[in-house]
Amino acid sequence: MTSARDLMTAGAQCVGENESLVDAARKMRDLDVGSLPICGEDQRLKGMLTDRDIVVRCIADGGDPASTMAGQLAQGKPITIGADDDIGEALQMMAQHQVRRLPVIDGHKLVGIIAQADVARAMPERVTGDVVHEVSR
């Protein structure tokens, strides 16, 4: 059985819920990523923040990214997968919830992220195509 841990990119970095969107954007730039998990003071995952969230939900609405905290954009309960869960379940979660990046947790700790690129590198073309199709609906 292939697990989420086998496919994930380990060492995902978080933006703190009390860090500004400017800090989050700089971290995205420095890491060359388009999204970051939002982690709380308790090290629990609070949500995901994308570069699009910063632009559409803050800047376009006239908000100040220097005074808006990442945690303010966290909505609802984050969609996650357990590190030891079967990769089939992870792919189903990505498709069902139409997410391109799926945080992987072990207990309550973030241990990695499965991105579409991880799926493309490790899975057969048909599986990758199915996931991309479902996520992009």
Contact between residue 124 and residue 118 where contact means Cβ atoms under 8 Å apart: no
Q: What is the pLDDT along the chain (137 residues), one digit of tens a residue?
A: 789 999 999 988 999 999 999 999 999 999 999 999 999 988 789 999 999 999 999 999 999 999 999 999 988 788 999 999 999 999 999 999 989 899 999 988 899 999 988 888 888 888 778 877 787 77
Contacts of 108 (CB under 8 A, 6+ apart): 43, 44, 45
Token digits for 89? 């379940």
Domain that includes residue 72, residue range: 4-135
pTM above 0.75, yes or no: yes
What length does the chain have? Answer: 137
Q: How many domains does the chain have?
A: 1
Domain at 24, CATH number: 3.10.580.10
